[in-house]
Amino acid sequence: MASTFSAYHIAKSGIQTAQYYLKVTGQNVSNVYTDGYTRQRLDTYAVAPTGLNGRYASKGDLAIGGGVDASGVTQLRDPYLDVRYRMEHSKTGLTGTELDTMDNVQDIFDEITKNGINTQLTDLTKQLNTLAASPSDSNLETIVKNSALLLTKAFKNAAEQLSKIRSQETGSFQSGGIDKVNNILQNIAQLNREIKSSDISEAPALELRDQRNSLLDELSQYFDIQVTSSKVPIGAGRTVEEMQVSLVSGDKKVTLVSNDQYNQFKLDTDPQTVEDSVEDGGGNSHVYASKTINASVTLTDSNGNVLKGSDGTTPLVTNDDLKTGVFGGYLAMLNDSGEYDAVPSKTFGTGADEVTSPATASTTRGIGYYEKVLDQFASELSKTMNGINSTDGANNKPMFSNGGSDSSKPITAANISISDQWNNATGSYITATKDDELPGVDNSSAGKNILYMVYQFSQEQTYKTPEDVTVFSTSLNSYVSKISTTLGLDIETATRQNDTYNSNLDGIDTQRASISSVDVNEEVINMTAYNQSLAASSRFMTTIDEAIDTIINKMGIVGR
Amino acid sequence: MRITLGMINRQYNKNLNAALNQLNSGYLKTTTLRKFEKTSDDPFSASKAYQLRREYEENQTYLDTLDSVDSQFMTSESAMRSIYSVISSADSSDVLQGITGTMNQDDRKIIADKLRQMQKAIVAPANTKFGDKYVFGGSEMDEAPFSVDGDGNLFYRGINVDTGELENGTAANFNGTLIEFGGGFDTTDAAANYKDYVLKITDAGEGNSSWVDPPTSNLITLHVDLSKVHTNQDLLNELRSMGTKFTGLDFSKVRIVGDMNRTVTDGMESSAIYDSVSMDTMGKLANEEMLANLGLGLQLDEDGKVDSQSAFNTSIPGISFLGYGTSNTDGTEMPDNLYSLLGKIADQLESDDFSMDSIQPYLDHFSDQENKLLSEITKMGAKSNFLSTLKSNLDPMGDKILERDQNVENVEPEDAITDFYMQQYAYQAALSIGTKIISKTLLDFMY
């Protein structure tokens, strides 16, 4: 036989649970616009009747449930969507970073609405054309010289801006990349510790989990990550979860955070030369590719000691492991030079010892590409002009020089200058003709050779890297517009990719929001329902009370 | 799919931002009327625009050059015409046509004087200037090409047009320059005749002052400090300071013209010293070219030099129409140059043993040369015509390029404004929708 007062407990459980419901609703509503907040839900279950399987239960007893009970508060979240979101996020990190840098570089080469090297070169051609018609006119030659001087200034300006972009990007890699990630890793480890201790005391720590999820989302834009968890026993048969965050690169997995332990990234910006070599059959090593690395990232423990790989010497994490995300973007922009990194396959050694090195493919066109392509332009232009102006085939009348005293140094965009000889020249310096001298007269002013310069400016030629890889075919006249167009196309492609990745990311985020975000309408409906359920349970309490009052005070007193 | 208000809000924000972005770009287009602001906005159009802009610049350069060439030609042509009018008036009945075998010495003297006056009247237009340039100087336009010495000989750039003798005595070519010894090198003294000698530059070693070896076997070896003497200009200064070294070897009057900036190296040799040039050289001078790029499409000849056919030759060397050298008519050696010919005829008239037989070959030759001049003037006219045809091609071509460039780079104002209004409309619609979807929740309809 059921206890008389057991119905009070049912009513009490109903009232209490309705209050819990209302509290959770309140929490949801108040966090409707909190970033990273996951919708919460009260998990309840119906309490089974006591003594249902009781050995001594009498046959006539009815098994009526004991009301409702709340087992806990859980979050509505789909972990699969988190994984997808984080995978996509590293892609937008990569394209976004590359786009930012390329946009900056575009400012240097884009001459659609402003003037730069291209404009100046066109002006030089124009002045040369004019000079060709009257080569001995010293005023015209002064104009040509002035135009050439402005051209060298435009070169220097572009080179300076490029190096500024390089140092800015390096700086923002450190502050906006490395430092940020290190901070996130530290915070995740901290949160892991707090969540674990909450778990031990069986407090769910949902809000801390939200914070941690937000940090993981943020972290995932820097590189590919994998989040795993493992159960660890805490005695008395109980287990709690511990979380690990790993950096993923192909098959390689490197732990970044393991519960409350974390590693840190380190950026080294001293240029280093990396050489690839093959060994021939005779055991001789041959370097087949060498590349200057301006930024290298390694992983250290929380005390700053570089973590080594299984061989104990090479670092555990190198640039090769960071091909995606913001890190991948910065590393590509700072280290890669596109076609200039490509090395065709070469053969070393002789006879049976012969060995063929693998071909190295070209890489992303980073800042290095634009530095090299601009330097090549400066040196090709000087070589062409100096060659045409020379009368002995040995560069005896250079128009451009490297601006320094050591003439063996190559001419680059940063050092291209009007040669000292030209600056100190008497009379006409530009070789107007290379025709043979005529006896008796001065025929040095016949202008054919100047027209030859003009001609060479418009000649299409194939520009190659020092490793003999084709960069592009164009004329000196169109060189800068070629760079600008190449860059424009790269930006266009990257923008399109970035848009696609972003809209994918957005789609996944919408799906996530569909599950996890709070809807005010829904909560208002719930609020109304829970309020009514509270009222109903209270009403039930009153009803039971009246019933028991009837039993106690009114039963069996008839005729008293 | 479950939709929440937050999702709608976020989506709305994004779309509104997109609409605002478009509005901004539409506004930019109406103010700049440009299709794109950066290469990356439209790389293909940008590369086309770069190309068209360059073509337009080139077209404008050609037009500029053409204008100045055209004016120079007009000046040249009128100068040639005035020379011709002098020549044809010489050939009139008053002068040459009027010569008869019966004229007395005084009559002949009058005609001879007239002819000498006419000689002067030829030299002035032959030294015509256009701007700073002497138009008939071939490749050397800075100095008056024609000069006359005390004996009435005509010199073209210092060379006797009839004989090829140099006005300033001996000279040699050295390293892209002409070294004139200014009479310092004797060619008449049998003991010290340096004609056909070669100047050779040898390094004197650092810090040593220059010296000259005694000339032997046609070689004059100059020792100069090549650590100080780098260019022809330096060499000139060094030579001048040397002064007289041996009998008839005086460097103090040396003059060097030409490319002064070439480097001087050890062992460099000059040409053999000469005091006259061959008629072959005169022919080369008469055919000297000055090429202007008028957009005919520069090309190279088999020697790797700019092909003259692919550019416009602006040079009209004075001797090409006035004539040079001599020719032999009926056993009489006579100058081809009209100026000299006039002089010779005057000489004949003034001579005591004047006869119609002796002067006739000169008169015949004169009228041949006169016809040659006329045909040169006609050729000039043809070239001028070519220039005007070229100009009438280049002008519309430039307009066409500009139009194409504008089609690539610019938008029509009406299109830009229509687009802008459309975008404004879209933005306003987005705003008004916003107030409708954002404001209401279930709460608004309760109680």
Kindly determine whether residue A133 and residue B290, on different chains, have CB atoms separated by under 8 Å: yes
B182, pLDDT greater than 80: no
Question: What are the b/e assignments for A514-545, b being 16+ CB within 10 Å?
Answer: bbbbbbbebbbebbeebeebbeebeebbeebe
Q: What are phi and psi of A34, to 5 degrees?
A: -75, 130
Partner residue facing B5 (CB), from A102, A439, A521: A521
Pull the structure tokens for residue B214.
Answer: 């005694």
Residues of chain A found within 8 Å of residue B2, distances taken between Cβ atoms: 514-515, 519
- Report yes or no: A98 and A494 within 8 Å, Cβ to Cβ: yes
B346: amino acid identity, one letter: A
**Beta partners for B332?**
B329
- Within 10 angstroms of residue B232's Cβ, the number of other Cβ atoms is 24
**Beta partners for A242?**
A230
Tell me the nearest-neighbour CA distance from B233 into chain A, angstroms: 7
Range in A23-37, A321-335, B241-255, B381-395 the model is least confident about: B241-255
Partner residue facing A106 (CB), from B38, B258, B291: B38
Q: Is B246 helix (H, G, I), strand (E, B) or coil?
A: strand
Q: How far is CA A269 from the centre of its chain?
A: 18
Of residues B22 and A64, more confidently modeled: B22
Nearest CA among B244, B238, B235, B233 for reference residue B268:
B235
Tell me the nearest-neighbour CA distance from A150 into chain B, angstroms: 18
Kindly determine whether residue A514 and residue B2, on different chains, have CB atoms separated by under 8 Å: yes
Pull the structure tokens for residue A151.
Answer: 């051209």
Pull the structure tokens for residue A441.
Answer: 């007269």
Q: Where are the beta strands (DSSP E) in B152-197?
A: 154-156, 159-160, 171-174, 177-180
Partner residue facing B61 (CB), from A109, A126, A397: A126
Q: Where are the beta strands (DSSP E) in B106-170?
A: 129-130, 133-134, 146-148, 154-156, 159-160
- Cβ of A379 under 8 Å from any chain B Cβ? no
Partner residue facing B140 (CB), from A111, A445, A491: A445
Q: What does each C-alpha distance from B357 to B112, B332, B361, B421 come to in angstroms?
A: 17, 11, 8, 97
Whole-number CA gyration radius for chain B: 38
Kindly determine whether residue A514 and residue B3, on different chains, have CB atoms separated by under 8 Å: yes
In the prediction, which pLDDT does A2 show?
Answer: 64
Partner residue facing A134 (CB), from B34, B42, B133: B133
Give the separation between CA B97 and CA B256, rounded to whole angstroms.
47
Kindly determine whether residue B442 and residue A444, on different chains, have CB atoms separated by under 8 Å: no
Residues of chain A found within 8 Å of residue B289, distances taken between Cβ atoms: 446, 448
**Beta partners for B177?**
B174, B258
In the prediction, which pLDDT does A281 show?
Answer: 81
Pull the structure tokens for residue A219.
Answer: 């972290």
CA torsion B94-B95-B98-B104 (nearest 10°) is: 110
Kindly determine whether residue A525 and residue B300, on different chains, have CB atoms separated by under 8 Å: no
pLDDT band for B155, please (50, 70, 90 cuts). very high
- Report yes or no: A463 and A474 within 8 Å, Cβ to Cβ: yes
Tell me the nearest-neighbour CA distance from B354 into chain A, angstroms: 37
- Report yes or no: B370 and B338 within 8 Å, Cβ to Cβ: yes
Q: Whole-prediction pTM value?
A: 0.87
Pull the structure tokens for residue B185.
Answer: 């090198």
Q: Mean pLDDT, chain B, as a whole number?
A: 87
Share of chain B above pLDDT 70, in %: 96
Beta strands B219-224 and B198-203, pairing class: parallel
Sign of torsion, CA B199 B202 B208 B214? negative
In the prediction, which pLDDT does A28 show?
Answer: 93
In the prediction, which pLDDT does B189 show?
Answer: 56
Summarize the confidence of residues B417-433 as an average pLDDT.
Answer: 92
Nearest CA among A158, A78, A80 for reference residue A116:
A158
Nearest CA among B62, B174, B179, B67 for reference residue B130:
B67
Give the separation between CA A386 and CA A381, rounded to whole angstroms.
8
**Beta partners for A44?**
A70
In the prediction, which pLDDT does B191 show?
Answer: 47
Summarize the confidence of residues B273-287 as an average pLDDT.
Answer: 89
Tell me the nearest-neighbour CA distance from B33 into chain A, angstroms: 12
Q: What does each C-alpha distance from B146 to B48, B128, B158 come to in angstroms?
A: 51, 10, 8
Q: pLDDT tens digits, chain A, 560 residues: what are they?
A: 567 788 888 999 999 999 999 999 999 999 988 888 999 999 999 988 776 565 666 666 677 888 999 998 999 989 899 999 999 999 999 999 999 999 999 999 998 888 899 999 999 999 998 888 888 888 889 999 999 999 999 999 999 999 999 999 999 999 999 999 999 999 999 999 999 999 998 888 899 999 999 999 999 999 999 999 999 998 888 899 899 999 999 899 999 999 999 999 999 999 999 888 888 888 888 888 888 999 999 999 989 899 988 888 888 888 889 999 999 999 999 999 999 999 998 888 888 888 888 888 889 999 999 999 999 999 999 999 999 998 887 888 899 999 888 888 899 999 999 998 898 887 788 888 887 778 878 877 777 889 899 999 989 999 999 999 999 999 999 999 999 999 999 999 999 999 999 999 999 999 998 999 998 888 999 999 999 999 999 999 999 999 999 888 888 887 76
How many Cα atoms occupy the beta-carbon half-sphere of B279 within 13 Å?
10
Kindly determine whether residue B291 and residue A122, on different chains, have CB atoms separated by under 8 Å: no
Q: At what angle do helices A367-389 and A138-173 cross, to 10 degrees?
A: 160
Whole-number CA gyration radius for chain A: 38
Q: Is A308 helix (H, G, I), strand (E, B) or coil?
A: strand
Which of A435, A441, A461, A483 to probe the B interface (max B CBs under 10 A)?
A441
- Cβ of A111 under 8 Å from any chain B Cβ? yes
- Cβ of A542 under 8 Å from any chain B Cβ? no
Helix (H) or strand (E) segment spanning residue A496 = helix A479-516
Give the separation between CA A327 and CA A222, rounded to whole angstroms.
5
Nearest CA in chain B to A113: B37
pLDDT band for B83, please (50, 70, 90 cuts). very high
Q: What does each C-alpha distance from B57 to A110, B38, B54 come to in angstroms?
A: 18, 21, 5
- Report yes or no: B251 and B243 within 8 Å, Cβ to Cβ: yes
Partner residue facing B305 (CB), from A428, A452, A517: A452
Give the separation between CA A305 and CA A312, rounded to whole angstroms.
13
Q: Establish whether this prediction's ipTM goes over 0.95.
A: no
- Cβ of A443 under 8 Å from any chain B Cβ? yes
DSSP state of A469: -
Residues of chain B found within 8 Å of residue A512, distances taken between Cβ atoms: none
Q: What does each C-alpha distance from A507 to A290, B7, B430 come to in angstroms?
A: 43, 11, 21
Nearest CA among B45, B17, B25 for reference residue A492:
B45
pLDDT band for B48, please (50, 70, 90 cuts). very high
Give the number of beta-carbon pairs within 8 Å between A and B: 253
DSSP state of B213: P
Sign of torsion, CA A331 A335 A336 A337? positive
Nearest CA in chain A to B64: A130
DSSP letter for each residue of B376-443: HHHHHHHHHHHHHHHHHHHHHHHHHHHHHHHHHHB--HHHHHHHHHHHHHHHHHHHHHHHHHHH--GG
Give the separation between CA A518 and CA A32, rounded to whole angstroms.
5
Tell me the nearest-neighbour CA distance from B263 into chain A, angstroms: 6
pLDDT band for B439, please (50, 70, 90 cuts). low
- Report yes or no: A152 and A128 within 8 Å, Cβ to Cβ: no
Give the separation between CA A365 and CA B71, rounded to whole angstroms.
51
Pull the structure tokens for residue A559.
Answer: 């005729």
Q: What does each C-alpha distance from A80 to A85, A227, A363 come to in angstroms?
A: 9, 11, 33
Kindly determine whether residue A442 and residue B177, on different chains, have CB atoms separated by under 8 Å: yes
Kindly determine whether residue B262 and residue A451, on different chains, have CB atoms separated by under 8 Å: no
Nearest CA among B324, B334, B321, B362 for reference residue B84:
B321
Question: What are the b/e assignments for B20-29, b being 16+ CB within 10 Å?
Answer: eebbeebeeb
Partner residue facing A426 (CB), from B178, B261, B271: B261
Give the separation between CA A417 and CA A373, rounded to whole angstroms.
18
Continuous H helices in A110-253 = 117-133, 138-173, 179-200, 206-219
Give the separation between CA B253 and CA B183, rounded to whole angstroms.
7
Kindly determine whether residue B39 and residue A487, on different chains, have CB atoms separated by under 8 Å: yes
